[in-house]
Structure 1
Amino acid sequence: MTTDPTTPQLMLGHVDIDADHQQFTERLAQLKAASGAAFIQQFGQLTDHLAEHFERENSLMMQSGYPASAEHRGEHNRVLGEMTNFRARVEAGRVRFGRAYALEQLPGWFDLHVSTMDAALVEYLKRSPL
């Protein structure tokens, strides 16, 4: 798993986006170490963080006129929908489903998303600052 806030490909050179990526990786590490009620609470907090994180990126894309915003937003919506569905399962006591998704699927998705979609967004923002 490359999801480490100090890994160069996760630091893209945009203060707000890099801060969100760092917060995500910290929350994911805390979730990995959590169990029981703490896991349930932290899963919810991670879901809330992603909603806020994605909304900040979506806002940047809208304000800047980013041409690939529909695809990028769609990916945000897909992952947030999955997290929301798993959150409901976790809160209903089916923690194993949420743990497997958050710790086995989400890190790889995040690494790929950052190195492709977010990297392209940051490059666009550097050329066309708000």
Structure 2
Amino acid sequence: MASLEWNAALILDFPVMDAVHEEFVTLLAQVEAAADEQLCALWDELIAHTQQHFDQEDRWMQTTGFATGNCHSQQHKVVLAVMREGAVKGAQGELSTIRHMASELGPWFSHHAQNMDAALALHMRRTGFDPVTGAVLVPEALPAEPITGCGGACSEAEKIEVVTA
């Protein structure tokens, strides 16, 4: 059984992000259902998708006023590093490591999407960010200082926005 299924709670009302998230959920389910001989290849496919997915979100954050080292981007880096460690273990024949990681990735992703990504989607809607063109249509909504937190009320710039909103 898949550790995560696509559901309404994962929809963030940001269509480009929602489509990428749905693809992630589908790929994760394929990994979890994979026969041993397919597992490493499907895990590698999930890693490649996740790299592109996280790179895209990181670019969006940079464009809309997040600091380079914000905790959302840092979490992306950590998760990818762990996934790559799983690929190494899988290549060494330790398929149970990949299977365990995949079972933990579903609950992690659900939490990540409903918290960090939801906050990012809200921020992008507020700034009028167009993910197709990269344009910020409401530049006055950009933070005065780079957002260093996770996308919620973690950084000083975000606290100011919440207080004055």
TM over 0.5: yes
2:106 counterpart residue number: 107
| Unaligned ranges ≥5, structure 2 | 130-165
1:58 counterpart residue number: 58
Q: Secondary structure at the match of 1:65?
A: coil
User: 2:11 is aligned with what amino acid?
Assistant: M
- The answer on whether the counterparts of 1:61 and 1:69 sit within 8 Å (CA) in structure 2 is no
Aligned partners of 1:111 and 1:85: how far apart in 2? 21
2:5 counterpart residue number: 4
Question: How far off is 1:10 after superposition?
Answer: 0.8
Percent same amino acid at aligned positions? 28
| Unaligned ranges ≥5, structure 1 | none
Question: How far off is 1:67 after superposition?
Answer: 6.1
Deviations 1:27-82 (A, max 9, x none): 01111110122111101101111111000000110111136971100110110010
Matched, 1:81 2:95: no
TM-score, normalisation: structure 1: 0.92
Aligned partners of 1:3 and 1:24: how far apart in 2? 10
TM-score, normalisation: structure 2: 0.73
User: 1:126 is aligned with what amino acid?
Assistant: R
Q: CA RMSD in A?
A: 1.7
Aligned partners of 2:3 and 2:105: how far apart in 1? 11
Which protein is richer in helix relative to its size?
Answer: 1
Query: Residues 114 and 106 from structure 1, CA distance in 2 versus in 1: closer, same or farther, beyond 3 angstroms?
Result: same
2:115 counterpart residue number: 116
Deviations 1:1-42 (A, max 9, x none): 77322x122110112211111001100111111012211110
Matched, 1:15 2:15: yes
Question: How far off is 1:92 after superposition?
Answer: 1.6
Task: Report the count of equivalent residues.
Answer: 128
Q: Secondary structure at the match of 2:13?
A: coil
Aligned partners of 1:82 and 1:90: how far apart in 2? 12
Q: Which has the larger radius of gyration?
A: 2
